[in-house]
């Protein structure tokens, strides 16, 4: 027991030091990248507003959410604060401009985060279908995976194909060089990541795990995560040449060896620095690697920053 106390003091100092490092970097570098002042007039239809005939898949900076369907996970005020990473429903996230979703499921097709569960995947699908019915030119990148430590839902690949078949974009490396107008009326790139079941086959309706990659580090230290994200991103091929999606997550996560284990105050250590991260990508010459940018508790400003970069790429200002 006594040995834990000095460790907690050191951890508190490390967090404080890293938060100061983030503030200092922000103060010295600011938030300045091409078109950074852009605010889309209609976030619900922001892809349509950028001209579907000019917007290539590889030029999109996709705004995404981490643990997307956790708005009602667990029990309010009891277990929810330990697993909730979003307060908005999937439909609400779509309306404010989110276009990439990280959905974790367990064997009974309920969405989960670790041991905590929430509503059925059917609710997610209902929200997506509602949004698709209300828009014409928005493309969604949907990642569904079996949560760590859980079993795959039976026959889940067939279930997803049945639910989304008519709007699914086939797995095809040529998709990355196409405009979204060329993909219509198909609207969803669905990546299915089972734990034990076979991966989706090449050329099928669903995309396999090799088409969506990231380099996750499990830390609650904001500067450590920020610099790690930049390092791993710099090692990726440019978006114009790669045939997979690469995700950067502007998040930090609670650690079991530290008293603060609620998601919001922990991830808040890095949440406000999304625009700083984009600025650093430009200043370090790796902006042409940035493709999916995800966050906890997504907001309109995060979406706007991603739309601004996308716009600048279309206009060849990036």
What average pLDDT does range 173-192 have in this prediction? 98
Q: b/e for 68-97, b at 16 or more Cβ within 10 A?
A: bbbbbbbeeeeebbbbbbbebbbbebbbbb
- Mean pLDDT on 279-303: 98
Q: What is the pLDDT of residue 203?
A: 95
- Tell me: pLDDT of 104 over 70: yes
pLDDT at 177 over 70: yes
| DSSP one-letter string for 218-283 | --S-HHHHHHHHHHHHHTSPPTTT-SSEEEEEE-----TTSS---HHHHHHHHHTTHHHHHHHHHH
pLDDT of residue 6: 77
Strand 116-120 vs strand 110-113: parallel, antiparallel, or unpaired? antiparallel
Average pLDDT for residues 2-22, to the nearest whole number? 86
Mean pLDDT of the chain: 96
Biggest distance spanned by C-alpha atoms of the chain:
64
pLDDT of residue 9: 87
- Which residues, in sequence order, are bridge partners of residue 65? 101, 295
pLDDT score, position 284: 98
Residue ranges per structural domain of the chain:
19-316
For residue 157, name the pLDDT band (cuts at 50, 70, 90): very high
Mean pLDDT for the stretch of residues 12-20: 96
Q: Which pLDDT tens digit goes with each residue over 203-231?
A: 999 999 999 999 999 999 999 999 999 99
The residues near 145 (Cβ < 8 Å, ≥ 6 apart) are 102, 103, 104, 105, 192, 193, 194, 195, 209
| Band of residue 143 on the pLDDT scale cut at 50, 70, 90 | very high
Note the pLDDT of residue 312: 97
Taking 70 as the threshold, does the pLDDT of residue 156 lie above it? yes
Going by pLDDT thresholds of 50, 70 and 90, the confidence category of residue 4 is low
2 pLDDT exceeds 90? no
pLDDT computed for residue 257 by the predictor: 81
**CATH fold label, 19-316:** TIM Barrel (3.20.20)
Looking at residues 11-15, what average pLDDT do you find? 93
Measured over the CA atoms of residue 287, residue 289, residue 291 and residue 294, the dihedral's sign is negative
- Write down the pLDDT at residue 3: 58
Instruction: Give the tens place of pLDDT for each residue, 45-84.
Output: 999 999 999 999 999 999 999 999 999 999 999 999 999 9
Categorize the per-residue pLDDT at 1 as very low, low, confident or very high, splitting at 50, 70 and 90. very low
Q: Is 18 exposed, middle or buried (0-12, 13-18, 19+ CB in 10 A)?
A: buried
pTM score of the predicted model:
0.96
């Amino acid at each position: 027991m006594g040995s834990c106390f000095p460790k907690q003091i050191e951890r508190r100092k490390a967090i404080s030091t890293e938060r100061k490092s983030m503030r200092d970097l922000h103060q010295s570098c600011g938030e300045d990248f091409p078109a950074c002042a852009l605010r889309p007039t209609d976030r619900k239809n922001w892809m349509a507003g950028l001209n579907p005939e000019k917007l290539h898949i590889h030029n999109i900076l996709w705004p995404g959410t981490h643990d997307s369907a956790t708005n009602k996970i667990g029990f309010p005020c009891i277990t929810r604060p330990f697993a909730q990473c979003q307060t908005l429903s999937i439909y609400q996230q779509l309306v404010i401009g989110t276009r990439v979703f990280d959905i974790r499921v367990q064997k009974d097709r309920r969405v989960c985060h670790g041991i905590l569960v929430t509503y059925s995947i059917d609710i997610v699908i209902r929200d997506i279908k509602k949004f698709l019915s209300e828009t014409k030119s928005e493309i969604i990148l949907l990642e569904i995976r079996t949560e760590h430590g859980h079993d795959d839902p039976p026959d889940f690949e067939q279930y997803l194909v049945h639910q989304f078949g008519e709007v699914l974009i086939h797995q095809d490396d040529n998709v990355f060089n196409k405009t979204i107008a060329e993909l219509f009326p198909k609207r969803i790139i669905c990546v299915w990541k089972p734990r034990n079941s076979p991966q989706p086959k090449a050329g099928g309706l669903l995309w396999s795990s090799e088409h969506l990659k990231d380099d996750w580090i499990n830390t609650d230290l904001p500067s450590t995560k920020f610099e790690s994200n930049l390092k791993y991103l710099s090692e990726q091929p440019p978006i114009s040449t790669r045939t997979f999606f690469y995700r950067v997550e502007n998040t930090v996560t609670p650690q079991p060896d530290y008293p603060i284990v609620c998601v919001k105050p922990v991830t808040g250590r890095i949440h406000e620095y999304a625009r700083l991260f984009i600025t650093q990508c430009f200043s370090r010459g790796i902006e042409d690697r940035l493709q999916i940018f995800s966050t906890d508790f997504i907001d309109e400003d995060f979406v706007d920053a991603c739309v601004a970069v996308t716009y600048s790429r279309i206009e060849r200002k990036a």
